[in-house]
Amino acid sequence: MPIMAAPRHRPAAMIRVLSNVLTPAELQAVRELLPQVRFGDGRVTNPDSTVKQNLQAPQEDPANARIAQIARDAFMRHADLRIYAQPKQMARTTVVRYEPGMTYGWHVDEALFPSNPPLRSDLSCTLFLNPPQEYDGGELTIELGAQLLTYKLEPGSAILYPSTTIHRVSPVTRGVRLAAITWLQSWIADGARRELMVQLDEARAIAAAQPGGPDLRMQVLLESLRTNLFRMWADT
Site residues (CB under 6 A) for ligand AKG?
Answer: 96, 104, 109, 126, 140, 167, 169, 179, 181
Report the C-alpha gap between 22 and 18 in whole angstroms.
10
Annotated binding-site residue? 78: no
Q: How many residues sit in the footprint of Fe ion (CB under 5 A)?
A: 1
**Cβ distance to Fe ion smaller for residue 20 or 45:** 45
Site for Fe ion in 70-109 (CB under 5 A): 109
d(CA 11, CA 194): 11
* 3-class secondary structure, 51: coil
Question: Which of the 8 DSSP states describes residue 169?
Answer: E
Contact 78, 156 (CB under 8 A): no
Q: Is 201 flagged in the annotation as binding?
A: no
> What is the nearest approach in angstroms of ligand AKG to the Cβ of residue 19?
17
Tell whether residue 9 is among the known ligand binding residues. no
Q: Are 32 and 26 in contact (CB under 8 A)?
A: no
Strand partners, 53: 103
Residue nearest to ligand AKG (CB): 126
> Which partner from the list Fe ion, ligand AKG, none does 142 bind, CB cut-off 5 to 8 Å by kind?
none
In the bound complex, what is the minimum distance in angstroms from residue 96's beta carbon to ligand AKG? 5
179/166 Cα distance (integer angstroms)? 19
**Binding region for Fe cation:** 107, 109, 167
**Binding region:** 107, 109, 167, 177
**Binding region for 2-oxoglutarate:** 177
